[in-house]
Amino acid sequence: MKILVINPNISDSVSALIQAEAQRSASPGTEIEVATAPFGVAYIETRFEALVGGYATACLAAERYGSYDGVVVAAFGDPGLQGIKELIDVPAVGLTESSLMTAATLGQRFSIIAISPRIKAWYRETVERSHLASRLASIRALDEPLRDIGSVQQDYSERLKVLCNQVVDDDGADVIIIAGAPLAGLAREIRDELPVPIVDGVASAITQLEGLIRLAPKKASKGSFTQPPVKPNRGLPEPLERLLGRELSGGR
Amino acid sequence: MKILVINPNISDSVSALIQAEAQRSASPGTEIEVATAPFGVAYIETRFEALVGGYATACLAAERYGSYDGVVVAAFGDPGLQGIKELIDVPAVGLTESSLMTAATLGQRFSIIAISPRIKAWYRETVERSHLASRLASIRALDEPLRDIGSVQQDYSERLKVLCNQVVDDDGADVIIIAGAPLAGLAREIRDELPVPIVDGVASAITQLEGLIRLAPKKASKGSFTQPPVKPNRGLPEPLERLLGRELSGGR
Amino acid sequence: MKILVINPNISDSVSALIQAEAQRSASPGTEIEVATAPFGVAYIETRFEALVGGYATACLAAERYGSYDGVVVAAFGDPGLQGIKELIDVPAVGLTESSLMTAATLGQRFSIIAISPRIKAWYRETVERSHLASRLASIRALDEPLRDIGSVQQDYSERLKVLCNQVVDDDGADVIIIAGAPLAGLAREIRDELPVPIVDGVASAITQLEGLIRLAPKKASKGSFTQPPVKPNRGLPEPLERLLGRELSGGR
Amino acid sequence: MKILVINPNISDSVSALIQAEAQRSASPGTEIEVATAPFGVAYIETRFEALVGGYATACLAAERYGSYDGVVVAAFGDPGLQGIKELIDVPAVGLTESSLMTAATLGQRFSIIAISPRIKAWYRETVERSHLASRLASIRALDEPLRDIGSVQQDYSERLKVLCNQVVDDDGADVIIIAGAPLAGLAREIRDELPVPIVDGVASAITQLEGLIRLAPKKASKGSFTQPPVKPNRGLPEPLERLLGRELSGGR
Amino acid sequence: MKILVINPNISDSVSALIQAEAQRSASPGTEIEVATAPFGVAYIETRFEALVGGYATACLAAERYGSYDGVVVAAFGDPGLQGIKELIDVPAVGLTESSLMTAATLGQRFSIIAISPRIKAWYRETVERSHLASRLASIRALDEPLRDIGSVQQDYSERLKVLCNQVVDDDGADVIIIAGAPLAGLAREIRDELPVPIVDGVASAITQLEGLIRLAPKKASKGSFTQPPVKPNRGLPEPLERLLGRELSGGR
Amino acid sequence: MKILVINPNISDSVSALIQAEAQRSASPGTEIEVATAPFGVAYIETRFEALVGGYATACLAAERYGSYDGVVVAAFGDPGLQGIKELIDVPAVGLTESSLMTAATLGQRFSIIAISPRIKAWYRETVERSHLASRLASIRALDEPLRDIGSVQQDYSERLKVLCNQVVDDDGADVIIIAGAPLAGLAREIRDELPVPIVDGVASAITQLEGLIRLAPKKASKGSFTQPPVKPNRGLPEPLERLLGRELSGGR
């Protein structure tokens, strides 16, 4: 099977982190392709940036439609994910949705570790969209300006471990979610030093998407996840226009 | 004061309906400018279409930044609204947010009348984002293919009145929200025939935005509605890039 | 248009604060009349006091019925508001309801600054009644006995600013609501010193009520906000008895 | 022990029903005194009427303070109850609160049977105040004008039984609450004909209040149920003024 | 009337505490019988231990069926309670359910004082099952290993009082629930030293069960609390098999 | 990897259905072992039966501890699951939890199709425990006595398809969950005839458990999913006693 992993941001260094963890997490026989957003910002922290990233992600998913068996939206906050689920006929997952589902299976309450204070509101609203906010113990974040988005893990590893211990000791988390693609792979590094299960968004997403692809769920032909109705449109990138304008004919 | 009303869709006929109701609702001395999305679909019914419409709306809000004292996102579902609130430093409102706030002041429970069954899921999720879903009595919708998005009011006026009566009699609504820009102005036409207050999105939005502009709230310099942090970006329309790249210096 | 602003408490000094901020907030052409409760307590902090104030407010609203185009219940907690909405056929708003709606438009989460610890439970329950408690970041309050209810703003201005900053920095508020009629007008004074938008109950209420009066919503003839059914009553003040005993014939 | 049962309405015929069921439910040695509101309406169906009834009830509770060991607010909807709990230093219960607590012990979901459609909104909001609305299966009500508030049980007994069966069969109720003082005693009559436990407000209230009086909970000297703070007041009935103006010195 | 009080744990010392408080709380004429679980653990702190204790409690309730008029499940967390309510045809209550209902009548928000940090998650989930979690101000617990489960009250009385004051002063509790059978009777000892009402699980349960037995609710013959359907079973203790295998014929 | 699938009920015919679907769903290289509860009832429909099934399941999980890499609790309602997660140090999943997580990834709202009306309350409470009840569109069930628990799929296939279509057309489900082990495998049969994705509990559980085992989450040493504290116990089956009495040393 082939999985398209879309980085909704323009940072190649983050794409490299995503790619590495995706490869480490994939089953033998799974092919991983990582695509980086052609437009947008370096990393998403706000609702506005998510709007841009969501549109860029949808454009990429449409552009490469037909070449993959499933899509990962590889930014915490899942920009564009629900829209993309409508658009295509193979499974799509996001880092937040996958992390929440994995965490919900490993414990009752979970906390999120994030890379900046600004990002917390956007993350909380993402969790609310899944209706799991009442199981969210806390969100804690690094609180200094990031030196380099590609080396957050190295630059702040000690501080990140402190935050992880705080959410367990002070906030009552049963599970820790390490949020955000810039931290992809960190969970694997520090898991033995922490007292509870720790969830990596990329690893969760790849694992769950492989499972979904094997379950092969049918594309909805009724309800709110069918393809958007055919109707007049204007000024859209050609791949989007093509996908919107005709019946889907299935995956790769 | 000058208000920019953005139609997130490409339908000029709907822009005309919006313009007419906005003018009727505005105070003397308020200047209304309506802008139509340069790209997108004819009318938004789904999460994917909202993603496109939200991005188009943000592009327009950035392009005309400096020429207005406030913005109305003139599609029910408020595509892009929360992001736009971060982006600019003058008030922004949406048809859903305004309608819900007006309705919440007029009664305890409200229902939404919509133009298609498909749109109901997207509307419900929009109401959930405002945390007012527990006051939503119901959403009822026209259930046949629309003949022409610009003449929905004329084509289905009887059916729409039936739906309005049903939400009062069967669902317990204290207030009716007529949802969606294609129905702009209808509330004014049929209000005397209905047994409860009826809220028009465009009229609510204009009225509330005028009030907000007079209250002149300060742009946040802390918290989740400050401008997105300055950071590398790529491939964005020039007005967006400009707004993201420097300190805001205030409205018109 | 003429607005009746009812102070549900007996404090003339607070009525003066309300009057001043109402005048500052009103549009040209809006006439403001402030009425002070003829019976009750100096300021409402508890459920019991709200019960008294609510009844006093309803009596005043009935007594002056026919002389106004809309009513403001000018105490945070909105004593009697929902009942008054049933009773009369022109719009009625309260400081809490108006503040919450304004705040909900300006941000996602808001905090309330209050004048005493005792008042916090009553305020929280008022927010719960609006179903917006999940967007309430915190309520913080002055914690010393008030020297004089008419000079709270002057006596505690520094402490109030400290509380305002705490709700932003520690509690995650996007918007600050300055609660309670004794603080009417304070927001206007300190807004430039604070990092997020700040909402004044009186200013919000006047602004929103002006908007509602212009929207001219129909009085419900069905549902839970119609006039209470005609039925035997006894011992009521004559204006209440009169309003309960016959069909409403419209506003001023 | 002596229990004061206050009918918040002016209907002597309903007071007689309340008295009869209270006597039937009381333990040997419990003295029941029923007081009828000196002002108000025939029966409460709306928020406005509850405002009047709540104030009347508080006045009565203050007037007879010192003569009882506990108070029952004997109207569904519990007008004034939370305020009265602050005011006095012996236990106070209401028909709704007692019924909900009894029902919550007998099953997971419950329905309410009411005497008029108008009353449903007020009842739902009362249940919301207790935070138990998510366990409310439904509210069903008689839907014709009442012939005589004192003979509802006789006049509509067959219809009431039909409603009871509907909430079990169609709405999933585990328990039925017969709501409203005009129906006091009905549960006792029809319980053998119904398939689930059936809760009478008056019987629940008397039983629970007897239990509370035996548990002898301390009057709060901190928190939101302490006596309202001593402060200036004006124009209150003398017993209220007396209770508000000094330290409480305990029950009978 | 005769009440069977089941200690779901194997600790005879705790059974003695339960017995003493149950006797102190019971009305004259109520006979109390305490039974100790024949298998299980010393005291329940976790979901797994509750599973064992719930099964042991159900076995005891079945074994002695016919000899009692009501059952108390005498561990906080109410292991097995909802299942036992299905199984038998006389009232059953638990310490948590009873405490919550009593506390909900005495105030709006309550806190729980517990004997170990580990127990907090299990308690919170129990409160969630009752749908009253939004009224839970906090759970605070002793945080050192217990010297002896039978002497917790003596060993930690000062610390427990500190916790009680903290939930009032810092967490906003109107009422304190002293949780867990090992603390049975403590409320009675310290109530005069605390500023708000304090609820004892055993005292609440006995008092409420006496009330329920007097109300004599009918066993459900429809809905989710009827007896489990007759169907094949295997390997069950004979009393359980007997109860499951035939129609219930009523209490003692 | 080796997965132990525990049927919490005594029905060998249902175990056979579970075994078949588990085998069909498993990856190459996954070994499936199905164990049937040695005591209990034919199939779980009620809280009481779940109590028995949960204990039986825990006994089996303990008895075979060391021989598996993960456990599936193979009854909808997940009897005993949360306790078992505490007890063992390898992943455990249940049919409900797995189905909900899969469904939540495939759509926003889901419905459950069940085998009897009685089972609906128990299922709803299970969904509430996951905090996803607000995404539950409906539960619909067969409403006639089952001819044979092992042949429900054959006996009622047409009726089950009707229910599936109703939850999409009338209740707004985006996804259908076929609930209960007796229906294991049915989703695979009828998926092409239905308009939305359809989730099978057994297939979901196997797929998700395989993923979890590959992610290899650490056993919690802090928080509410650590092993229950070592403490006195009595009368437990030897494998339980052994697991409770010592430090866990890891999986197979």
pLDDT digit string (tens) for C122-141?
Answer: 999 999 999 999 999 999 99
**pLDDT band per the 50, 70, 90 thresholds, residue E146:** confident
Q: What is the pLDDT of residue F249?
A: 46
Q: Do C172 and A121 touch (CB under 8 A)?
A: yes
Chain B neighbours (≥3 Cβ pairs under 8 A) are: A, C, D, F
Return the closest-CA partner of residue B96 out of B139, B42, B154.
B139
pLDDT in the model for residue C214:
97
Examine the pLDDT at F252 and tell me if it is beyond 50.
Answer: no
CB-based contact B173 C223, cutoff 8 Å: yes
The helix or strand, by DSSP H or E, that contains position F32, with its residue range, turns out to be: strand F31-36
The answer for E65, left when phi > 0, alpha when psi is -120 to 50, beta otherwise, is beta
Residues on chain E touching C129 (C-beta within 8 angstroms): none
CATH class as words, domain F2-94+205-245: alpha beta
Q: Which residue is closest to A177 within chain F, CA to CA?
A: F217
Q: Which two tokens stand for residue D137?
A: 């299966």
Question: Sorting pLDDT into bands at 50, 70 and 90, what band is F247?
Answer: low
D131 to chain B, closest Cα gap in Å:
13
pLDDT value at position B247? 53
Q: What is the DSSP letter of D174?
A: S
Q: Which CATH number fits domain D2-95+205-245: 3.40.50.12500, 2.40.50.140, 3.40.50.970, 3.30.530.20?
A: 3.40.50.12500
**Residue E14 confidence (pLDDT):** 94
- CATH number for domain E96-201, candidates 3.40.50.12500, 3.40.50.1820, 3.20.20.150, 3.60.10.10: 3.40.50.12500
Helix (H, G, I), strand (E, B) or coil at F43: coil
Question: Which residue among F105, F174, F208 places its CB closest to the CB of A223?
Answer: F174
Residue F178 parent element (H or E): strand F175-178
D170 contacts chain F (CB < 8 A): no
Count B/C contacts: CB-CB distance under 8 Å.
Answer: 143
How long, in residues, is chain A? Answer: 252
The two beta strands, D233-234 and C40-41, are: antiparallel
pLDDT of residue C51: 98
Least confident stretch, E25-29, E141-145, F160-164: E141-145
C200, closest residue in chain B (CA to CA): B215
Q: To the nearest whole number, what is the mean pLDDT of chain D?
A: 95
Instruction: Tell me the chain A residues in contact with residue B52 when contact means C-beta distances shorter than 8 Å.
Output: 55, 58, 236, 240
Contact between B7 and B22 (Cβ < 8 Å) = no
Judged by 3 or more CB pairs under 8 A, whether E touches B is: no
What's the pLDDT at C145?
A: 85
- Tally D–F CB contacts below 8 A: 6
pLDDT in tens, E178-224: 998 899 999 999 999 999 999 999 999 999 999 999 999 999 999 99
Q: How far is D101 from chain B (nearest CA, A)?
A: 23
Q: How far apart are the first and last CA of chain E?
A: 9
Query: Which residue has 């039978």 as its token pair?
Result: E150
Determine contact, residues A230/A244, Cβ cutoff 8 Å: yes
Query: What type of residue is D70?
Result: G
Contact A120, A139 (CB under 8 A): yes
Q: Give CA–CA dist E139/E173, Å, rounded.
A: 10
Whether residue D27 lies within 8 A of chain E, CB to CB, comes out as: yes
Secondary structure of D62-105 in HEC code, one letter for each residue: HHCCCCCCEEEECCCCCCCHHHHHHHCCCCEEEHHHHHHHHHHH
pLDDT digits (tens, 9 = 90+) for B36-88: 999 999 999 999 999 999 999 999 999 999 999 999 999 999 999 999 999 99
In chain E, residues under CATH classification 3.40.50.12500 are: 2-94+205-245, 96-201
Which chains have 3+ CB pairs within 8 A of D? B, C, E, F
Q: Which of D104, D195, D223 has the CB atom closest to E107's CB atom?
A: D223
pLDDT reported for residue E36: 98
Nearest CA in chain E to C120: E172
Q: From CA E83, how far away is CA F49, in angstroms rounded?
A: 7
Predicted pLDDT of residue A247: 53
Is there a contact between F10 and E232 if contact means CB atoms under 8 Å apart? yes
Comparing CA positions, the residue from F156, D106, A52, B105 lying closest to residue C85 is: B105
CB contact under 8 A, D86 and C48: yes
Which residues lie across from F204 on neighbouring strands?
none
- Tokens, residue B86: 């971060």
Confidence (pLDDT) at D247 = 53
Nearest CA in chain F to D109: F121
Question: Shortest CA distance to F189 belongs to which of F24, F5, F45?
Answer: F24
Interchain proximity E42–F232, CB inside 8 Å: yes
User: Average pLDDT in the B1-30 region?
Assistant: 96
- Compute the average pLDDT of residues E65-80: 97
F198 beta partners: F176
Q: Are B118 and B46 in contact (CB under 8 A)?
A: yes
pLDDT in tens, B74-103: 999 999 999 999 999 999 999 999 999 999
CB D223 within 8 A of CB E196: yes
Residue C247: per-residue pLDDT: 53
Chains B+F touching (3+ CB pairs under 8 Å): yes
Which residues lie below 8 Å from residue F170, measured CB to CB, with a gap of 6+? none
A109 CB neighbours in chain E (<8 A) are 121
Is residue D3 helix, strand or coil?
A: strand
Do E36 and E15 contact (CB within 8 A), yes or no? yes
Confidence of residue E100 (pLDDT cuts 50, 70, 90): very high
Chain A partners within 8 Å of F199 (Cβ): 217
Chains touching C, CB cut-off 8 Å, 3+ pairs: A, B, D, E
Task: Tell me: pLDDT of F250 over 70.
Answer: no
Question: What are the residues facing E33 on neighbouring strands?
Answer: E4
D171: closest CA of chain B, how far (Å): 15
Chains D and A touch (3+ CB pairs under 8 A): no
Contact at CB, E234 and F10, closer than 8 angstroms: yes
Q: Is A49 on the interface with B (CB under 8 A)?
A: yes
> What does the block give as tokens for A55?
């549109």
Helix runs in E31-118, H state only:
47-63, 81-87, 95-106
Q: Which runs of E-coded beta strand occur in D89-197? A: 92-94, 110-114, 136-141, 175-178
Dist CA C64 CA A57 (whole Å): 60
Sign of the alpha-carbon dihedral angle for D194, D198, D203, D208: positive
> Chain A residues with CB inside 8 Å of C109's CB?
121
Chain A contact for C132, CB < 8 A? no
Closest chain E residue to the Cα of D109, Cα to Cα: E224
Which helix H or strand E contains F111, and what residues bound it? Answer: strand F110-114
* Phi and psi angles of residue D73, each rounded to the nearest 5 degrees, phi first: -90, 110
Q: Please, which pLDDT band fits residue B252 given cuts at 50, 70 and 90?
A: very low
Which residue among F107, F132, F168 sits closest to A131, beta carbon to beta carbon? Answer: F132
Would you call C121 an interface residue with chain B, using a CB distance cutoff of 8 Å?
Answer: no
Q: What is the mean pLDDT of chain F?
A: 95
CA within 13 Å, CB half, F156: 23
Interface residue C200 vs chain A (CB under 8 A): no
pLDDT in tens, B128-185: 999 999 999 999 999 988 888 889 889 999 999 999 999 999 999 999 999 988 999 9
pLDDT of residue E252: 41
Confidence category of residue B246, pLDDT binned at 50, 70, 90 = low
Task: List pLDDT tens digits, range F105-151.
Answer: 999 999 999 999 999 999 999 999 999 999 999 999 999 888 888 89
Neighbouring C-beta atoms of residue F165, cutoff 10 Å: 15
pLDDT, tens digit, for every residue of D122-168?
A: 999 999 999 999 999 999 999 988 888 889 889 999 999 999 999 99
Q: Which two tokens stand for residue D80?
A: 């004034």
- Contacts of B24 by beta carbon, 8 Å cutoff, 6+ apart: B185, B188, B203
Check if the beta carbon of residue C252 is closer than 8 Å to that of residue C66. Answer: yes
Q: How far is C-alpha C20 from the geometric centre of its chain's CA atoms?
A: 15
Query: Strand, coil or helix: what is E88?
Result: coil
From the list C38, C41, C54, the residue facing D232 with the nearest CB is C41
A abuts E (3+ Cβ pairs < 8 Å): yes
The 10s digit of each residue's pLDDT in E149-189 is 889 889 999 999 999 999 999 999 999 999 988 999 999 99
Per-residue pLDDT, C181:
87
In B, minimum Cα distance to C218 occurs at B197
DSSP one-letter code for C6:
E
CB contact under 8 A, A125 and C108: yes
d(CA A37, CA A55): 10
The whole-number pLDDT of residue E193 equals 95
Q: In the prediction, which pLDDT does A181 show?
A: 87
Is E108–C125 a contact, with Cβ atoms under 8 angstroms apart? Answer: yes
- What token pair was written down for B52? 């496109």
What topology is assigned to A96-200 in CATH?
Rossmann fold (3.40.50)
Chain B hits for D125, CB-CB cut-off 8 Å, are 108
Q: What is the DSSP string of chain B?
A: -EEEEEESSS-HHHHHHHHHHHHHHSPTT-EEEEEE-SSEESS--SHHHHHHHHHHHHHHHHHTTTS-SEEEE-STT-TTHHHHHHH-SS-EEEHHHHHHHHHHHH-S-EEEEES-TTHHHHHHHHHHHTT-GGGEEEEEE--S--S-GGGHHHHTHHHHHHHHHHHHHTT--SEEEE-SGGGTTHHHHHGGGSSS-EEEHHHHHHHHHHHHHHH-PPPPSSSTTSPPPP--EES--HHHHHHHHS------
F125–D108 C-beta distance less than 8 A: yes
From the CA of C19, how many Å to the nearest CA of chain D? Answer: 21
User: What's the CA gap between D144 and D160, in Å, rounded?
Assistant: 12
> Which of chain B's residues have a Cβ under 8 Å away from the Cβ of A143?
none
Strand F40-41 and strand E233-234: pairing? antiparallel
pLDDT band at residue C144 using 50, 70 and 90 as cut-offs: confident
Hey, is E199 helix, strand or coil?
Answer: strand
Residues of chain B with CATH 3.40.50.12500: 2-94+205-245, 96-200
Is F49 near chain E, with CB under 8 Å?
A: yes
Mark the ranges of chain A whose per-residue pLDDT is less than 50. 248-252
Nearest by Cα to E73 from E198, E229, E165, E202: E202
| E206 and D CB contact within 8 Å | no
Tell me, what's the ipTM? Answer: 0.94
